[in-house]
Amino acid sequence: MSDSKDASGEEDLRHYYSIIRSRISSDKALTLLHIGAHLTIIWTETDKEAVAVLVLTIGSEKTGSELFHHAPPDAGRS
């Protein structure tokens, strides 16, 4: 991964994947979502191997600062 601040995100997913996979039937699909400060990782699989790992270059910091704005009305607006 190119973003060292979220470099452990995929490692975390692998760790949690192993824990979760050991507790559910192998015929069940599994999707994990990691939203880091700079990256979002989506891991999905159907058997015991990942069939798709998507790494998106948007994380909680960008989402919070650029995409969501809270502008409460002031006394002059209704």
Looking at per-residue pLDDT, the higher value among 30 and 74 belongs to 30
pLDDT at 26 over 70: yes
Q: Can you give the pLDDT at residue 2?
A: 41
The answer to whether position 73 is within a domain reads: no
pTM of the model: 0.62
- What residue numbers bound the domain in which 39 lies? 4-67
Q: Edge-to-edge, what's the strand order for the sheet holding 30-35?
A: 30-35, 40-45, 50-56
Q: Is residue 75 part of a domain?
A: no
Conformational region of residue 22, where left means phi above 0, alpha means psi within -120 to 50, and beta covers everything else: alpha
Tell me if 14 is assigned to some domain: yes
76 domain-assigned: no
**Would you say residue 49 has pLDDT above 70?**
no
Who's near 45: CB < 8 A, 6+ residues apart?
Answer: 17, 29, 30, 31, 51, 52
DSSP 16: H
| Count of H-run helices and E-run strands, the chain | 2, 3
